Amino acid sequence: MIPNRPPVGGAYYPRDLLVHPPAYAPTYKTSILRSPQKARIGIDGSLSETTGPVFGHNILGELDNDMVLNYAAPGESAIGERTIVYGRVMDQDGRPVPNVLVEAWQANAGGRYRHKKDGYFAPLDPNFGGCGRTITREDGSYEFRTVRPGAYPWPNGVNDWRPAHIHFSVFGDGFAQRLITQMYFEGDPLIPLCPIAQTIPDKDALDRLIARYDPARTIPMDARAYHFDIVLRGRRATFFENRKEGL
């Protein structure tokens, strides 16, 4: 049941482009053709961008956030290092963002996606689908159980490998808050070598994409745990008669 709570008002903070990767990054070869050819144009957000969508727990299946089991045959489970990924979804002001849909997808333990265009030679795991979803609790918390994904080669340079990573999609309280990102694992030696990760100019911003190992949340003889918080755009203060918005 989704409790009644007052809607969060106000326009969203503008994006800080200094911490985001540039659209054109020649070392990340596919960005050359995908990058915009013209300058950005700033426009005010519309009502459809600052509100919705709303998701309910009735859209979830019992095992939607358990990628170890949600694609497995009865009595079977996915192959790989069992891993708990947990954290909170919050905005730039540190406020929790509850009741939002968090989707995750990843390669299997061998580094292969369950996708017909994935041509890597690693085998498919018949008991691993590679995707899951959950809805944040009132305190913004979420949790997935999965297997640690493997690294894989990709046709960017002669010998480029992607670090182990999990993709996340978060919808937030409004479409302008929508975030699609990737989570890396602490200690992975491939992170500083990855052309995609290295497009991020702010090294502190890159560090925020790295999940930290948390032995306190480890399940003995079962799964290791990694902590990863997700921060969405915040909203400016509500307008008051005696001061301008955001002051």
**Which residues are the active-site residues?**
113, 152, 162, 165, 167
What whole-number distance in Å separates Cα of residue 131 and Cα of residue 122? 18
Token look-up 């030679």 returns 121
Q: Strands 82-91 and 230-232: what pairing?
A: parallel
Say how many C-beta atoms besides its own lie within 10 A of residue 225's C-beta.
20
Say how many C-beta atoms besides its own lie within 10 A of residue 67's C-beta.
29
What whole-number distance in Å separates Cα of residue 247 and Cα of residue 244? 6
